[in-house]
């Protein structure tokens, strides 16, 4: 009954992005072309120390956004000044791969980022030196899956795009061709 349909953005990657990157960087083999390996969404909740129910809210919101159950992250060390004990839940993260990754990237670029207040494009300087890009969002309500009325507290998140690119220039070109709206500097 259900057909195995490739995500729209993955089709665009194969048909348009790969040839464009091969021409731009003079690759001789298709396997040299950088590709998106995974997308990691991380929601750190420092306030969860005093209110453990916040972790449950973050888990449910990340599940709604990604369609995948997140992992609850726990404190590695005890820090007395923050009243933090080792092993206390302090966040949630999800790693998306394959179809879910392509679907999320498509929704992020076409629906969510345009809903960010005063959006002028994403920073082109947030690359880590080995071809990965991290984007910070200040509020989770930019995602259409989140019901604004049911949100107790506005929380931000980090979204990391892990690529196979060797340099930041290659990774930027890859993400730009996939539709990431970089701010012109």
pLDDT tens, position by position, 111-155: 877 777 777 877 888 888 888 888 888 876 777 677 666 777 777
- Radius of gyration, alpha carbons of the chain: 18
Q: What is the reported pTM?
A: 0.78
Report, as ranges of residue numbers, the positions in the chain whose pLDDT lies below 50. 1-2
Domain boundaries, the chain: 8-45+59-69+91-177
CATH 3.40.50.740 given to domain 8-45+59-69+91-177: no
CA 114 – CA 142 distance, rounded (Å): 8
Predicted pLDDT at 48: 59
Predicted pLDDT at 15: 85
Strand partners, 74: 89
**Are residues 104 and 135 in contact, defined by beta-carbon separation less than 8 angstroms?**
no
């Amino acid at each position: 009954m259900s057909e195995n349909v490739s995500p729209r953005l993955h089709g665009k990657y194969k048909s348009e992005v790969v040839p464009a990157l091969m021409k731009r960087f003079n690759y001789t083999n298709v396997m040299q072309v950088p590709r998106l390996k995974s997308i990691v969404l991380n929601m750190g909740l420092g306030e969860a120390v005093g209110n453990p129910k916040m972790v449950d809210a973050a888990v449910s919101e990340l599940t709604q956004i990604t369609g995948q159950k997140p992992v609850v992250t726990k404190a590695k060390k005890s820090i007395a000044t923050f009243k933090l004990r080792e092993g206390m839940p302090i966040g949630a993260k999800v790693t998306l791969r394959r179809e879910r990754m392509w679907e999320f990237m498509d929704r992020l670029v076409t629906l969510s980022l345009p809903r960010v207040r005063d959006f002028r494009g994403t920073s082109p300087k947030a690359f880590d030196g080995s071809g990965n890009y991290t984007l910070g969002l200040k509020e989770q309500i930019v995602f259409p899956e989140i019901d604004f009325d049911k949100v107790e507290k506005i929380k931000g998140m980090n979204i990391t795009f892990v690529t196979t690119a060797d340099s930041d220039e290659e990774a930027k070109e890859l993400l730009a061709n996939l539709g990431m709206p970089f701010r012109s500097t």
